[in-house]
Structure 1
Amino acid sequence: MTEQGEVESCNVDDGSRQRGKKNVSQRDDFLPVTQIEKKVVTTRKVSHEMKLAKYRDRLLRALDGQIEFDLFQLLDRRSMEIQGAKSENTEISYYSDMIAYVDFCRSERLTPLPYLDGTVEAYLIQLEALGRKRGTIDRHVASLASWAGMLELNDPRQSFRVKTRLQKLRRRLSKRTRQAEGLRVEHLELALELFNPEVARDCQDITLLFIGFETLCRQSELVGFDWRHFELQADGSGLIDLEQSKTDQEGEGEWLHLSVTTTNLLLGWGAVSNPNHKEGAIFRGIYSDNRMGDRLSTRGVQRCFKRIAKRLDLEPSIFSGHSTRVGAAQEMIERNIDSAKIMLSGRWKTMAMLTRYSKKIRAKRSGMADLTNQLNWDSVANTGKRQNALPQKVPTALSIPKQE
């Protein structure tokens, strides 16, 4: 599979193809050729509740016989009561992190709960030995602390040994992570010229690009949009309702503005993907024969932006599903739009992410950048004076020794 509901092509020899056709008309899912084009393919999706039930069952089986019975019963009861209080991704990470900790304890024959200073410290040492990054280790510790709060146990982060170990880890492990490159205005304008609106995948890619940029939505929010969330305005612009986001877990919702250009792109995509009635997911997986699949996955968003980058002769690996969000924030910062407005647009609660996104922009506005501009060095470098100013011969200390 490529995007959700999208089938990769494969090379099949003629003999295998003929054997595959044998008795195909007797299969339950057989459709005549005349009906295939009309069929909208849906893929079977596992609900969050089912995923959570599997994680919970796995955790309980791992803890069975490893902790006191009263504590086991409390965890069984509280884990049911807490369901739905956090976002889906947070709930999954709580369980997966706790399972990893319990599996470690079982392999080392240690008691997982209640938390012991030496046990948690040993687990942190193990995570570092496995090459886990600083952010991942911090998330594991936060998950253990959340379970401690749920079970009314001591927070392992308050232990002197655990605190000291975390301080050592944080000094050794860099917090810096690779920042995804932003898809900027120049990229959007060039993409608009290159993409063919008559090709279904192109039509969706360009629409996803512009909506992602104008709404500053995360990839998980982009794939959650349905046609019922969209409203066409009298002036040709549009509004789209973000019912719930990472920073709005209570679902108060927020209306986001779409320009006339983006609205036209969305309407054009609707005519291709859902011409008869506007309902269901806006962004969907696309089969190689242009049939529509189920709702697009977050990985599908990542692949979309990487496809766009490739078409623009950019390095696809440096872009991610958040590249439109990064690029839009950088454009607003560069154009001196008020920080409060940028935070409202991106639904950020603190300045941390804006500071992170604006590192390269701030470098261009530094005191040294101002000085070199006043000295007019850039214009001098473009004239013949540069040849006289620079050494004609590379100093011996900087030259590369010849291979013998």
Structure 2
Amino acid sequence: MVKISLNENVSKLKEKSKAKNTQDKYQGDWLKFIDYCKNKYNCNPLDVDDLDSAYALTANYMDWLHEDPEAKILKGTSNIPGKEKLNNNPYSSSPYKASTIQRILASITYKYRLNGFQFDRKNPNIAETISAIVRNEKNSRSGQAKELLKADIIKIIDSIPNDGEDFSNIRDKALILIGFYSFCRRSELLGMNFEHLNFANDGVQVLIPFSKTDQTGEGRMIFLPATKDAYCPVKALNDWLEIAMIERGPLFYKINKSNTIEKYTLNYKNQKISLNDSSFVLILKKRAFAAGLDDCDKISGHSLRIGSITQARMNGVPTHEIMAQSGHKTTQMIDKYTKLSNIRETSAAKKI
């Protein structure tokens, strides 16, 4: 019997089979796992005696990420050389989500396999630990983020003062109405550029060049209708573009306490900086609270998207049309995003 191992070049080629962003995430997750092993067990994860020890070490790490307050210190930090001081995670003070822990497990599995371990995520120690973490998360939160339906959007817009001197009033109307009518993820909404807009008499076509489920940049077109009422996303957008004098680059920017639109601030790549995730959520919560809505603490960056999808389904819009606007690839994800919280209004028994 002759045992042949992969040479170093083949191992490097295997790593390059993943997209650059995926490689970075895998490497970052693995480096944090190494730190955990050194701090807790004074060893490198590749130094374990056997596969069972690797499973036990990984399961213990998953549990630590989920339960231990110390684990939150790792969030928003990076162990990748050159990125140690970067923190782009607005939720770095909150516990790890089950979905994030599952991604970290994928990273660890990949690295173990790359180093010759026959690591299987279906091992009982691993599978049962992950299952328990997912179940705990579902039990700890009653549903997803609060959905903002059309009635809620109307209340929020009505509560925003018609004060043209305060630029945040004009921006927030556009931000909320476009977020609702676009069905977009918050990253897609905040990533919209003026160059992505195509104006017509009946509305605006918007190019979404990249998304969570479109990593190759195939892109999709969505449509913002000109509703021609007080809640028209097109009018709100035009009002904001005019007052902010936006003719290129990101659509939405931070407005400081001096009522100055910070559209000339540049990042390290010399690019204009759009409004960030955490600011968007704070704006949404602030406006919902001012409108007198309940459960504002449950509002998140998903609330507009969940609300518009739910409203569309309540109004009988075909699922395939919702998917074309929202960018979802499967009907199962549409079902997951739909929240029918008012059983009296949505009961099927009333429609037969």
Contact 2:62–2:130 at 8 Å: present in 1 too?
Answer: no
Instruction: Describe the superposition over 1:141-191 as per-residue Cα deviations: whole angstroms up to 9, x where unpaired.
Output: 122123346556533415455445555x35863545541111111122223
CA distance in 2, matches of 1:266, 1:174: 38
Counterpart selection for 1:219 from 170, 178, 186: 186
Once the two structures are overlaid, the 10-residue window that deviates more, 93-102 or 262-271, is: 93-102
Is the partner of 1:173 in helix, strand or coil? helix
CA distance in 2, matches of 1:255, 1:171: 34
The yes-or-no answer on 1:145 pairing with 2:109 is yes
CA RMSD of aligned residues (A): 3.4
Structure 1 residues 302 and 133, CA, compared in 2 at 3 Å: closer, same or farther? closer
Cα shift at 1:355: 2.4
Structure 1 residues 238 and 366, CA, compared in 2 at 3 Å: closer, same or farther? closer
Aligned to 1:188: 153
CA distance in 2, matches of 1:205, 1:218: 17
Structure 1 residues 74 and 144, CA, compared in 2 at 3 Å: closer, same or farther? farther
Query: Percentage identity across aligned positions?
Result: 24
TM-score (norm 2): 0.72
Indicate the structure (1 or 2) with the bigger Cα radius of gyration.
1
The yes-or-no answer on 1:322 pairing with 2:302 is yes
The yes-or-no answer on 1:238 pairing with 2:204 is yes
> What is the count of residue pairs matched by the alignment?
296
Structure 1 residues 72 and 308, CA, compared in 2 at 3 Å: closer, same or farther? farther
Structure 1 residues 104 and 120, CA, compared in 2 at 3 Å: closer, same or farther? farther
The yes-or-no answer on 1:123 pairing with 2:58 is yes
The one-letter code sitting in structure 1 at the alignment partner of 2:218 is: E
Is the partner of 2:121 in helix, strand or coil? helix
CA distance in 2, matches of 1:259, 1:171: 39
Cα shift at 1:298: 1.3
Counterpart selection for 2:316 from 336, 356, 365: 336
Aligned to 1:267: 238
Aligned to 1:379: none
The one-letter code sitting in structure 1 at the alignment partner of 2:26 is: Y
CA distance in 1, matches of 2:175, 2:291: 16
The one-letter code sitting in structure 1 at the alignment partner of 2:155 is: L
Contact 2:310–2:339 at 8 Å: present in 1 too?
Answer: no
Structure 1 residues 80 and 147, CA, compared in 2 at 3 Å: closer, same or farther? closer
Contact 2:310–2:340 at 8 Å: present in 1 too?
Answer: no
Is the partner of 1:220 in helix, strand or coil? helix
Aligned to 2:219: 253
CA distance in 2, matches of 1:351, 1:254: 18
Is the partner of 1:256 in helix, strand or coil? strand
Instruction: Describe the superposition over 1:247-296 as per-residue Cα deviations: whole angstroms up to 9, x where unpaired.
Output: 11111111111122211111110111126xx0111111111112122311
Contact 1:124–1:137 at 8 Å: present in 2 too?
Answer: no
Aligned to 2:328: 348
Contact 1:78–1:150 at 8 Å: present in 2 too?
Answer: no
Task: Note the 1:193-208 alignment, pairs <5 A.
Answer: 193-195=158-160, 196=162, 198=164, 199-208=166-175
CA distance in 2, matches of 1:268, 1:79: 51
Counterpart selection for 1:157 from 115, 121, 125: 121
Structure 1 residues 281 and 340, CA, compared in 2 at 3 Å: closer, same or farther? same
Aligned to 1:102: 34
The one-letter code sitting in structure 2 at the alignment partner of 1:112 is: P
CA distance in 2, matches of 1:213, 1:269: 16
Tell me: higher relative CO, structure 1 or 2? Use CA pairs within 8 A at least 6 residues apart. Answer: 1
Contact 2:306–2:339 at 8 Å: present in 1 too?
Answer: no
CA distance in 2, matches of 1:279, 1:268: 16
The yes-or-no answer on 1:311 pairing with 2:290 is yes
Is the partner of 1:286 in helix, strand or coil? coil
Contact 2:280–2:301 at 8 Å: present in 1 too?
Answer: yes
* Structure 1 residues without counterparts, runs of 5 or longer: 1-69, 375-404
Instruction: Describe the superposition over 1:46-73 as per-residue Cα deviations: whole angstroms up to 9, x where unpaired.
Output: xxxxxxxxxxxxxxxxxxxxxxxx9997
CA distance in 1, matches of 2:121, 2:280: 37
Contact 1:135–1:175 at 8 Å: present in 2 too?
Answer: no
Contact 2:224–2:233 at 8 Å: present in 1 too?
Answer: yes
Structure 1 residues 133 and 335, CA, compared in 2 at 3 Å: closer, same or farther? same
